[in-house]
Amino acid sequence: MRRRVVVTGIGLVTPVGIGVEEVWENVVKGKSGAGPITRFDAKDLPVRIAAEVKDFKPERFIEPKLVEEMDRFIQFAVAGSLIAIERAGLKGKTDSERVGVIIGVGLGGLPSIEDQFKIFNEKGYRRVSPYFIPMAIPNLAAGWVSILTGAKGVNLCISTACSAGLHAVGEAYRYIREGIIDVAICGGTESAITPLAVAGFSSMKALSRRNDEPEKASRPFEKNRDGFVMGEGAGILVLEEYENAKKRGAEIFAEVIGYGANGDAHHITSPSPEGKGAEECMRLAIRDARISTDEIQYINAHGTSTKLNDLYETIAIKKLFKDHAKKLFVSSTKSVTGHTLGAAGGMEAAFTALSLKTGIIPPTINYEEPDPQCDLNYVPNEAIELKDLRYAICNSFGFGGTNACVVMKKI
């Protein structure tokens, strides 16, 4: 028998705020988190904008002596997890052997790698930090969260590029559903706004070059989109077995009812033609949820603001949902947060749960000129209140053709 799984905690560290209420308010209002890069001097790069997390003070969440042992992506994961755990009211109320940690990461400790390599070249190996390796490897996000919270259940790092955060949520759902654990701290984290990463994505021509209008640069599904805006942060959820949550009187944001994961088997960076992989991934998730496509009302899209992704995601939605596609609300919150890579799926799963909780569908901002090939309802520029919102899905697609889709239900 499948156990029911619900979202009881959310923790967000984003370019538009830290916490839950502040972030959600800014997402709903369509307040862009993009701006000029401040983390380093980007004047010689073709892209000089990003969506950075502002005013993040790790000491608010982590003992100062431990901060220097963690790369920024780990700090984000710890902060998001502690916020989510507090919001869930879980501390001291569950068996630690039955609590797992599954956190997705795309690039890991790239800032530490770049910094320590510079030190190595300039000052020699003796000056390389003894914390360098634990700062750099992706699984230390989950590792540190486990250490600091006492969660002794399954401890995993999912590293599937831009699908990592949502894969982590989906896998956590499966572990709880099958009775392996009762609670999971899950989601995604990333902090890769570095000279090398910006240069690399720029060379691929994946980033928007609207350097003079950073707040207008991320424009998913819009005709004049020219690439994504790199973001950073963490989106962490507490998933919990329903009876456990009900017994302790926990606040429930939404119920997770389905998960799909597959591969395009097509190309290292481009999605499969006509969105075949994305279409099948959504089909798998909806089938797993045991509902029909006509019951879905909202899709929190992957929607990166790149030409092919937005086009093929649109085609995939139209092929799967057929006539019902015209009735769907489809929005990309990356228009507000930028593309936070491995953190994106965690953030967007949280936004999907908040949509179901509040009955508000966040907008796709910067939608000025429709693309004739992208002809769905992308909730342009203004949020929509939908009081009868009951079923929603969240999509994430990553390099290498790795896809994830999670279905949620209002409860």
Query: 337: which DSSP letter?
Result: H
**CA 211 to CA 14: how far, in whole Å?**
21
Give the pLDDT confidence of 32-76 residue by residue, as tens digits: 999 999 999 999 999 999 999 999 999 999 999 999 999 999 999
Task: Return the ∠ at Cα 332 (arms to 335 and 358), rounded to 5°.
Answer: 110
- Tell me which of 3.40.920.10, 3.40.47.10, 3.40.50.300, 3.90.105.20 is the CATH number of domain 258-409: 3.40.47.10
Fold match flag (5-247 vs 258-409): yes
339 is catalytic: yes
- Tell me which of 2.60.260.20, 3.40.50.720, 3.10.450.50, 3.40.47.10 is the CATH number of domain 5-247: 3.40.47.10
What percentage of residues in the chain have a pLDDT greater than 70? 99
Amino acid at 306: T
The secondary structure element, H or E, covering residue 335 is helix 334-337
Residue identified by tokens 């995939």 is: 316
The answer to whether residues 231 and 207 touch, using CB atoms and an 8 Å cutoff, is no
Q: Which of 157, 162, 186, 405 is catalytic?
A: 162
Give the pLDDT confidence of 261-278 residue by residue, as tens digits: 999 999 999 999 899 999
157 is catalytic: no
Half-sphere exposure of 18 (CA within 13 A, CB side): 21
pTM over 0.95: yes
Q: Which of 157, 167, 281, 302 is catalytic?
A: 302
Q: Which of 157, 186, 339, 394 is catalytic?
A: 339
Give the pLDDT confidence of 140-199 residue by residue, as tens digits: 999 999 999 999 999 999 999 999 999 999 999 999 999 999 999 999 999 999 999 999
Domain ranges of the chain: 5-247, 258-409
